[in-house]
Amino acid sequence: MKKVFLGLFLASLTLSLFVSCGKRENPLRPRYLYHDPWRFDRVFESLEGNLVEDPALRDVFIYLPPMYDPNLHQPGLIGEGFSVLYLLHDFGGDYSTFVGVYKVAQIADRLIEEEQIQPMIIVMPDASSLALASDALKKQRGGTFYVNSDLLGQYEDYIVEELTSVIDENFHTVVNKPGDVYIPDPRYRAISGLGMGGYGALSIAMRYDTLFQSVSAMSPFVSFESFLTREMIDKVFEENGISPDDFSYSSYKSLSPWSDSLHPDKTYSQLIFSMAAAFSPHDPADPETANYFPLFNIAGQSYGVDLPFDSTRTIPPGSSIWNRWLIHDLKTRLTNDHEAFGDLSIYLDCGDQDELELYEGTRAFSQLLSLYGKEHTYIEYSGYPDYPAGHDNFIYDRLVEILKFHSSHFPPPVYRR
């Protein structure tokens, strides 16, 4: 069954502006064109040398508010600039999803014009995986979950260390200069995301709470236990043509994320294998191969992932593979570190008919935040009889609330008029 949240594989967007910030520190720009963000590409060192040979050259969309004037709004001007929201895409999408599908630029333009939000820069990076694309045309891209993976690359470093520096060096963001070094002002930074991007935003904010003022997540993966249920595992087997009563090891070892003519839809399989590539890549030196699934052969060496469930479609008690997943599990991390998020302002939401049942984990995560005295907002929204609140049915509306939330927590604007 094809899921909407994986139907976001976009054709090339026809844009009137193409700018490479990697080639020009202060790109010139005419009057802002309605909903045409900047696009630039750059080779990010954090992604170079990844084992699956995904490109380190990544496109990024930058939304600049209508009043942004490159002649007036220079990078590096002390104590003035625009607030910045880093907006992370979902599994199956890429840097263009929020622009092409959810129309975030039109939303921001309207809210700024109506003075419902303060002007802000919105940064939309690419964290998709071509190597894990399930189809031969590389349209149904895999995901990386914004973590540092021995197999996929250093995606957390890519966002936190490189991308933020690129934005501060090339755009009019708020910085201080206590000495000879420009220091970004975290009060004017926020991070958000949808689904996989919601996971990434929360995960990064938990580890780097002093870099941001606020964090938000739409339909995030926050509890692997709530998500990876027997029902979800059964769907992976079903997509691979394995009958419900087949628990054989040979059938189990035939699981794969790759689509073929008999099994064209590998939505759940691709998701689970991408999560395993992020959280439990197989160590080639590990002789234990019972749960190992080879995916790539590079220079004569096999690389792949360890799945946390076995042929009985359950996660064995005390599983070392599952423990590796739990290292990245946000609910587990919060339980082990009650001080995570620091003083960040936190917003969560989820549809009450999310196809992945992510509302279960998000509810539990909200309750845990309350238990540990973390003030936050959690909204579980409903749809209509003919339009349920699925994983991405109401994202246009949720983005309105996300932008308002972050705008309300940024300090008053300090950009030059």
Rounded to the nearest 10 degrees, what angle do helices 267-279 and 230-239 cross at?
110
Specify the pLDDT at position 37.
84
Report percent pLDDT > 90 for the chain: 84
9, 140 in Cβ contact below 8 A? yes
Averaged pLDDT for residues 124-134? 95
Report percent pLDDT > 70 for the chain: 91
- Pair of tokens at residue 344: 């960040």
Which stretches does DSSP call E strand in 195-234? Answer: 214-218
pLDDT at 13 over 60: no
Specify the pLDDT at position 116.
98
Decide which of 136 and 171 is more confident.
171
184, 316 in Cβ contact below 8 A? no
Specify the pLDDT at position 50.
95
User: Exposure string (b/e) for 157-177, b if CB count within 10 Å is 16 or more?
Assistant: bbbbebbbebbbebbbbbbee
Specify the pLDDT at position 180.
74
Specify the pLDDT at position 38.
86
Q: Which of 244, 328, 252, 337 shows the shortest CA–CA distance to 290? A: 252
Question: Poorest-confidence range of 44-53, 148-157, 172-181, 218-227?
Answer: 172-181
Report the mean per-residue pLDDT for the chain.
90
Whole-angstrom Cα distance, residue 360 to residue 148?
Answer: 26
Averaged pLDDT for residues 293-317? 95
Rounded to the nearest 10 degrees, what angle do helices 395-409 and 104-113 cross at?
50
Averaged pLDDT for residues 304-327? 97
Q: Which of 55, 187, 73, 193 shows the shortest CA–CA distance to 122? A: 193
Specify the pLDDT at position 82.
97
Specify the pLDDT at position 379.
98
pLDDT at 33 over 70: no
Band (pLDDT 50/70/90 cuts) for residue 18 is: very low
Q: Where are the domains of the chain?
A: 15-223+331-409, 225-328
Rg (CA), the chain: 21
The CATH-assigned architecture of domain 15-223+331-409 is 3-Layer(aba) Sandwich (3.40)
Averaged pLDDT for residues 204-230? 98
Specify the pLDDT at position 139.
79
Question: Poorest-confidence range of 34-48, 50-64, 158-172, 343-357?
Answer: 34-48
pLDDT single digits (tens) 243-273: 999 999 999 999 999 999 999 999 999 999 9
pLDDT single digits (tens) 345-394: 999 999 999 999 999 999 999 999 999 999 999 999 999 999 999 999 99
Specify the pLDDT at position 237.
98
pLDDT at 147 over 70: yes
Specify the pLDDT at position 179.
72
Averaged pLDDT for residues 288-308? 94
Question: Poorest-confidence range of 1-15, 69-83, 308-322, 371-385?
Answer: 1-15
95, 89 in Cβ contact below 8 A? yes
256, 294 in Cβ contact below 8 A? no
pLDDT at 11 over 70: no
pLDDT single digits (tens) 69-108: 988 999 999 999 999 999 999 999 999 999 999 999 999 9
Averaged pLDDT for residues 302-306? 96
pLDDT at 166 over 50: yes
pLDDT at 30 over 80: no
